Amino acid sequence: MQLIFEKSREGISQSILPVCDVAKYQFAPQLQRQTAPRLPQVSENELSRHYSQLARRSFGVNSGFYPLGSCTMKYNPKIDEEMAALSGFTAIHPLQPPRTVQGCMQVLELTGKLLCEICGMDDMTFQPSAGAHGEFTGMMMIKAYHRLRGDLGRTKIIVPDSAHGTNPASAAMNGFSIVNVPSAADGCVDIEALKSVLGDDVAGLMLTNPNTMGLFDKNILQITRLVHDAGGLNYYDGANLNAIMGVVRPGDMGFDLIHLNLHKTFATPHGGGGPGSGPVGCKKFLADFLPAPVLYHTCCALDFAAPPQSIGKVRAFWGNFLVIVKALTYLLTLGGEGVKQAAQNAVLNANYFKSLLEDDYDLAVPGICMHEFVLSLERLKKETGVTALDIAKGLLDCGVHPPTIYFPLIVHEALMIEPTETESPETMDEAAVCFKKLYKLAYKDPASLHNSPQTTPIRRPDEVAAARNLRLRYRF
């Protein structure tokens, strides 16, 4: 398909701005750019069609089943979008006097209150713009906490080998060294391995529970107690909160701080890779370290102020505010009961879908799962040469978005599947038929899977060439 630059025609322009009604200001030549940027010159009709064509070559939750493990691709309610588009929010300048933005501040306060209750936390910041940004913020709070106590020897963060890649990366951005702990055979934290790395050099533990294998770690209380006893803090990666919200709270499990992914659990859309929102919640004893500013009540209104030991700002202004409006709309719709039902049905759907597949495919770990489960295609690969990637590409021809592949890293040929609560049993039944068909095809005609997809806008791209011969912009 043509790029917009290739559709550009000299002399085509749109009528958007009026004629300037004041005298032009002439900048000295040396202050001006030498050549004009080569932006597209297209009619509004052409522009509209171009993006309609691009939309047709994209796939969202609205296009079909999207069981992308760890990403919680649930339906994004339309009312949330409309509420975030209210001019009472979009037309508000971030530096208006507090008196004139009480509605925005109340959105932040109320959302924080609801989320703290769900997480079992006492305070929250909305400044982090995505999950990894939240992790970075939380890790910095742990660092600042130990520093203030003069406990300077705590330089290590423990991360299980099944963790998201953002966990070790966010900890390392804070100068921590990473201690990987292996998972036990049951997919949970190996308690003995954990004990062996705990000591007075440990700043904290990063954990997601349920973990990336889709299992709730039954030893969670023992794990968090061991870390606390060693003087460390427990950080909860909220990527998998969708399995447990309303059922069990990270704060009760012994976690001291947490980030949430509003763009996963709280139904705000992913936008093709953001904007997300990664609020960080914490227990009271850490609240003084939250990024600046936080909300506080004056006699009669809300205002911003920096907490006394604040780590500072992690971005400009107050966060991805409109995303927070969407999450609040969702929370008010669900209420206490709906939040719990969402989690329960996410778990129900995952177990149902798993039960449809487990006769053919091998589970990475057997038994009941939480909101997601992991298949290992190691045997299939050995017997047929068909890989996790091949099955993923085969699914594209079935109109199903493939699961997450090759993650978690501890499972060979992994397919990580998360249906979410908003899918019907019929949708999962149909998808299961596809999965089973591909499994059979792997034995009958593996070559056809190596050659899939066949029906998509492009065939498999040459990624090696892309990284070797860098073409990262259009060459005019």
Partner 1 sequence: MGNYLDATAADQKKMLDQIGVSSIDQLYSMVPEQLLVDKLVLPEGLSELEVRAAIEELAAKNLIFKNIFRGAGSYDHYIPAIVSQVTAKEEFVTAYTPYQAEISQGILQAIFEYQTMICELTGMDVANASAYDGASAAAEAAAMCRDKKRRCVCIAATCHPDTIETLKTYCFAADCELTIIPATDGLTDAAALSAVGEDTACLIVQQPNFYGLIEDASSLAEIIHQKGGKFVISCNPIALGILATPAEVGADIAVGEGQPLGMPLSFGGPYLGFMACKTSFARSLPGRIVGETTDANGNRAFVLTLQAREQHIKREKAASSICSNQALCALTAAVYLSAMGSGGLREAAEQSAAKAHYLAAQLCAIEGFNLVYGGEFFNEFAATTPVAADILLLKLEKEGILGGYPLDYHTILWCATEKNSKYDIDHLIAVIKKAVSRCS
- Kindly identify the residues of this chain, within the stretch 267-296, that bind partner 1 according to CB under 8 A: 267, 269-276, 291-292
Structure tokens at 385: 């040469």
Nearer to partner 1, 268 or 384 (CB): 268
CA 211 to chain centre: 15
Nearest approach in angstroms of CB 240 to partner 1 is: 13
Q: Which stretch binds partner 1 (CB under 8 A): 189-197, 372-380, 435-443, 464-472?
A: 464-472
Nearer to partner 1, 378 or 451 (CB): 451
Q: Where are the alpha helices (DSSP H) in 149-206?
A: 166-173, 191-197
Nearest approach in angstroms of CB 243 to partner 1 is: 9
Nearer to partner 1, 326 or 379 (CB): 326
- Of residues 427, 434, 436, 448, which one binds partner 1 by CB under 8 A? 427
Q: In the beta sheet, which residues pair with residue 281?
A: 124, 258
Residue 22's alpha-carbon distances to 14, 16, 18, 19, in angstroms, are 21, 17, 11, 9
* Subset of 173-232 contacting partner 1 (CB under 8 A): 173-175, 177-178, 215-218, 220-221
Question: Rounded to an integer, what distance in angstroms lies between the CA atom of residue 309 and that of residue 142?
Answer: 12
Q: Are the C-beta atoms of 428 and 349 separated by less than 8 Å? A: yes
Nearer to partner 1, 194 or 328 (CB): 328
# residues near partner 1 by CB under 8 A: 203
- Of residues 283, 304, 410, 456, which one binds partner 1 by CB under 8 A? 456
Question: Rounded to an integer, what distance in angstroms lies between the CA atom of residue 316 and that of residue 108?
Answer: 16
Three-point CA angle 345, 348, 350, nearest 5°: 110
- Letters for 45-84 (x = contact with partner 1 by CB under 8 A, - = none) are --xx-xxxxxxxxxxxxxx--x-x--x-xxxxx-x-xxx-
Structure tokens at 243: 């399995």
Nearest approach in angstroms of CB 323 to partner 1 is: 6
Question: Rounded to an integer, what distance in angstroms lies between the CA atom of residue 40 and that of residue 35?
Answer: 15
Q: Are the C-beta atoms of 266 and 331 separated by less than 8 Å? A: yes
Nearer to partner 1, 127 or 376 (CB): 127
Q: In the beta sheet, which residues pair with residue 304?
A: 295
Nearer to partner 1, 247 or 379 (CB): 247
Nearest approach in angstroms of CB 258 to partner 1 is: 15
Taking each helix axis as running N to C, give the angle between helix 425-444 and helix 388-397, from 0 to 180 degrees, rounded to the nearest 10. Answer: 120
Check residue 359 for interaction with partner 1 (CB under 8 A): no
Question: Rounded to an integer, what distance in angstroms lies between the CA atom of residue 299 and that of residue 40?
Answer: 54
- Letters for 8-27 (x = contact with partner 1 by CB under 8 A, - = none) are ----xxx-xx--xxxxxx-x
